[in-house]
Amino acid sequence: MIELGKNGGKLAKTKAFHPWPYATEREKELINEVIEEGLWWRMSGSKVNTFERKFARMQDAKYCLGVTNGTHALELALATLDIQEGDEVIVPAFTFISTLTAVIYCNAVPVVIDVDPETFCMMPSAFEKAITPKTKAVIPVHMAGQCCDMDAICDIARRHNIRVIEDASHAHGAEWNGRRAGSFGDLATFSFQNGKLVTCGEGGAVLTNNKELYDKAYLIHGVGRPVADKTYAHVVLGSNYRMNEFQAAILIAQLERLEAFNEKREISAAILDKLLCNIDGITPQGRDPRANLDAHYMYMFYYDAKAFSGLSRQDFVEYLNKEGIPAFIAYPVVSDTQFYKQRNFRGYAFQNIEPQEHDLSNAHKIADNVVWLPHYTLLGDQVDLQEIAEAIYKIQSYCNR
Ligand SMILES: *Cc1c(COP(=O)(O)O)cnc(C)c1O
């Protein structure tokens, strides 16, 4: 008789996964520097500047601007491109909600399109089909750490004079055809929220290769004031999106580990793919070979309840948790969320506009069936990976007993 979870039998997971968030003496050393120097904001300190220089270089971009968080990074990127009322911005149906809400917050119209059923990334064909004379920008999301088809997306955007903002919140260090996420679009955004691959609890960044866009983003992110302004010269309409020195101190230390962690996750994900693709009812996220470095922010797979005697996906996730494996259900389709369906847009321009309907069947299939494991499950050893597979086998035998 198989028993699941903590009551009774031995757990499938016998030891802890790699801790996350993760810090060493290096983070403490840099934080102490900020405290001892007494320079807590970027206007006086040097940590934000240092972080920006290092992160831009790491992502093959010329300029980086540290900001408060990834949601604000998207809002700032759209404001920098002057996206405003009357403009349409194309976003994928399968992403974290901020990709959509940032568009609503700048008074523009989000146009939600489908994603690829294997890679879960924006489908270039759906992008091209959704273009209208009002389309001003597109926001491809490098889903779970795998880059979108940036060749096709940038080519379509160029032909139609549409601006590209990469939402690279999952893609620290990720590469497409040997080039890093964040270097393809007019602008790119990153998040350093608690669970992300590089984290300071909350944080974000905007990257670009365009000096003019960088200068404009800098002004908007600092309430419209030029660098080192001491005269309250508010030259553009801005807000306060500034990153502080404590955030940057932690991030500098985190960046020193990113390359090694990405290498480790690539190796682990390949092993886990092999282990899980043998299990009936489990199909890992597919991979475009041109996405030559996948950062693996989330390890995602389709779950087919039929192979588990109809066990619901939510129960499957709970059983995994009981066995000591952290697991979650996928994001909902952005336009299936409560506020969107109730058309509760608080008076932003989208309130008065009938949303465009596009086929979102792949995104629905993913949102309804996919399960994901957090990236730190890939930072341990082979035993960790075997135990993930064993937990799934154990649940399957239990359900089909
Ligand atoms: C995390 C995330 C964001 C938002 O970042 P925050 O730092 O949490 O505001 C935006 N887009 C995607 C795809 C994300 O995963």
- Could you give phi then psi for residue 30, rounded to 5 degrees? -70, -40
Q: What percent of the chain has pLDDT over 70?
A: 99
Ligand 1 nearest-atom number relative to CA 71: 9
How far away, in angstroms, is 72 Cα from ligand 1 center? 9
Whether 209 is in the pocket of ligand 1, judged by its Cβ within 6 Å, is no
Whether 75 is in the pocket of ligand 1, judged by its Cβ within 6 Å, is no
Ligand 1 nearest-atom number relative to CA 297: 15
Residue ID of nearest Cα to ligand 1 atom 6: 70
Whether 114 is in the pocket of ligand 1, judged by its Cβ within 6 Å, is no
Dmax over Cα atoms in the chain, in whole Å? 76
Just list the catalytic residues. Answer: 96, 167, 170, 193, 196, 225, 232, 242
Contact between residue 164 and residue 142 where contact means Cβ atoms under 8 Å apart: no
Q: Stretch 262-275: mean pLDDT, rounded? A: 98
How far away, in angstroms, is 169 Cα from ligand 1 center? 6
How far away, in angstroms, is 4 Cα from ligand 1 center? 34
Whether 170 is in the pocket of ligand 1, judged by its Cβ within 6 Å, is yes
* 3 state SS of 157: helix
Alpha helix (H) residue ranges in 132-244: 150-159, 211-221
At residue 4 the predicted structure's pLDDT band, cuts being 50, 70 and 90, is confident
Q: What percent of the chain has pLDDT over 90?
A: 97
pLDDT digits (tens, 9 = 90+) for 64-117: 999 999 999 999 999 999 999 999 999 999 999 999 999 999 999 999 999 999
Q: Stretch 384-392: mean pLDDT, rounded? A: 98
Contact between residue 110 and residue 104 where contact means Cβ atoms under 8 Å apart: yes
Whether 247 is in the pocket of ligand 1, judged by its Cβ within 6 Å, is no
CA distance 297 to 375: 5
- In terms of Cα–Cα distance, which of 256, 295, 303 is closest to 279? 303
What is the model's pLDDT at position 7?
55
Decide if pLDDT at 1 tops 70: no
pLDDT digits (tens, 9 = 90+) for 345-355: 999 999 999 99
- Residue 51 burial (10 A CB sphere; 0-12, 13-18, 19+): buried
- In terms of Cα–Cα distance, which of 103, 71, 65 is closest to 84? 103
At residue 2 the predicted structure's pLDDT band, cuts being 50, 70 and 90, is low
How far away, in angstroms, is 309 Cα from ligand 1 center? 35
Return the best residue to mutate from 69, 71, 190 for the ligand 1 pocket (most ligand atoms within 8 A of CB): 71
pLDDT digits (tens, 9 = 90+) for 269-308: 999 999 999 999 999 999 999 999 999 999 999 999 999 9
How far away, in angstroms, is 341 Cα from ligand 1 center? 21
What is the model's pLDDT at position 10?
82
Q: Stretch 186-215: mean pLDDT, rounded? A: 98
Whether 172 is in the pocket of ligand 1, judged by its Cβ within 6 Å, is no
Whether 68 is in the pocket of ligand 1, judged by its Cβ within 6 Å, is no
What is the model's pLDDT at position 5?
73
For the beta sheet containing 109-113, the strands, ordered from the edge strand earlier in sequence to the opposite edge, are 63-67, 204-208, 187-191, 163-167, 135-138, 88-92, 109-113
**Its pTM surpasses 0.95:** yes
Q: Stretch 46-75: mean pLDDT, rounded? A: 98
